[in-house]
């Protein structure tokens, strides 16, 4: 066997031995699995306790309006309104809540009204809820958690790339879009025809730029 083949076989065996020595955690770090942006679901609640009077107080109306505004910006799915079972006064409040939600732009199809069985000795509030999503990067260690004296490996640190992905996660306006929660809106057919006509005539199909950096559709 030539020296070249012997060195090649030795190198291959060393690579195999070193590969077997990697832990699942180090392999995950090398693949960047711990730096993937993930989405977690959260539920926002609002409890209204003064419902037995049969109408919303001024303070509660303001709270419902603020809750509806948050839902309009960040909420997904329906906004649920749960009244204590058997409370006519509580269900009378639901009408006022529907009106406030409608003024905030919430469609009737996105309002789900129901009831629940309250505990006998507890105050039974009217409960509103909706879900939101938050983008985050789980498993990223902090820089000050590393042992900088450990130089046995040339692999990247577990925190490598975390800051970039964490910044991207914070800039995602609608994290639920990463799960396909929102359908695409209809395309601009008139604009598509304009672009097609310009393409057919060999003209520039790009939008023209304005002095302030904006664009206008030609």
Alpha helices (H) in the chain, listed in sequence order = 3-20, 24-31, 58-74, 88-103, 162-171, 189-200
pLDDT tens digit sequence for 22-31 = 666 666 555 5
- Tell me, yes or no, whether 197 lies in a domain: no
The whole domain housing 100 covers: 23-142+156-181
- Tell me, yes or no, whether 7 lies in a domain: no
For residue 143, give the DSSP letter: G
Tell me: pLDDT of 16 over 50: no
pLDDT tens digit sequence for 87-140 = 777 777 888 899 999 998 888 999 999 888 887 766 788 899 999 998 888 877
- Tell me, yes or no, whether 172 lies in a domain: yes
Q: Say how many domains are in the chain.
A: 1
- Tell me, yes or no, whether 205 lies in a domain: no
Q: How far apart are CA 68 and CA 71, in angstroms?
A: 5
Counts for the chain of helices (H) and strands (E), in that order: 6, 6
Least confident of 45-49, 54-58, 106-110, 166-170: 54-58
CB atoms within 10 A of CB 54: 14
- Tell me, yes or no, whether 208 lies in a domain: no
Tell me: pLDDT of 173 over 60: yes
Q: Give the pLDDT of residue 176.
A: 83
List of residues 6+ apart from 45 with CB closer than 8 A: 127, 128, 129
Q: Give the pLDDT of residue 10.
A: 46
- Tell me, yes or no, whether 72 lies in a domain: yes
Q: Answer yes or no: are the C-beta atoms of 6 and 100 closer than 8 Å.
A: no
The model's pTM is 0.59
- Tell me, yes or no, whether 113 lies in a domain: yes
- Tell me, yes or no, whether 196 lies in a domain: no
Tell me: pLDDT of 14 over 50: no
Identify the CATH number of the domain in which residue 29 sits. Answer: 3.30.1330.60
The chain-wide mean pLDDT, for the chain, equals: 77
Does 200 or 69 have the greater pLDDT score?
Answer: 69
Tell me: pLDDT of 47 over 60: yes
């Amino acid at each position: 066997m030539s020296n070249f083949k012997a060195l090649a076989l030795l190198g291959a065996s060393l690579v195999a031995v070193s590969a077997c020595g990697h832990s699942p955690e180090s392999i995950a770090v090398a693949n960047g699995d711990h730096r993937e942006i993930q989405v977690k679901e959260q539920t926002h609640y609002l409890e209204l306790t003064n419902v037995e009077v049969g109408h919303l107080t001024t303070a509660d109306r303001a709270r419902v309006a603020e809750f509806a505004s948050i839902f309009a910006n960040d909420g997904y799915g329906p906004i649920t309104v749960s009244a204590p079972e058997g409370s006519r006064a509580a269900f009378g409040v639901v009408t006022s809540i529907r009106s406030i939600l409608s003024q905030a732009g919430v469609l009737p199809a996105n309002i789900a009204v129901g009831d629940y069985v309250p505990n006998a000795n507890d105050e039974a509030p009217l409960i509103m809820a909706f879900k939101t999503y938050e983008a985050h990067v789980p498993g990223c260690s902090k820089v000050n958690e590393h042992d900088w004296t450990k130089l046995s490996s040339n692999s990247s640190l577990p925190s490598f790339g975390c800051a970039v992905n964490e910044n991207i996660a914070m800039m995602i306006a609608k994290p639920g879009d990463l799960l396909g929660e929102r359908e695409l809106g209809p395309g601009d057919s008139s604009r598509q025809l304009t672009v097609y006509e310009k393409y057919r005539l060999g003209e520039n199909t790009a939008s023209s730029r304005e002095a302030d950096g904006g664009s206008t559709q030609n």
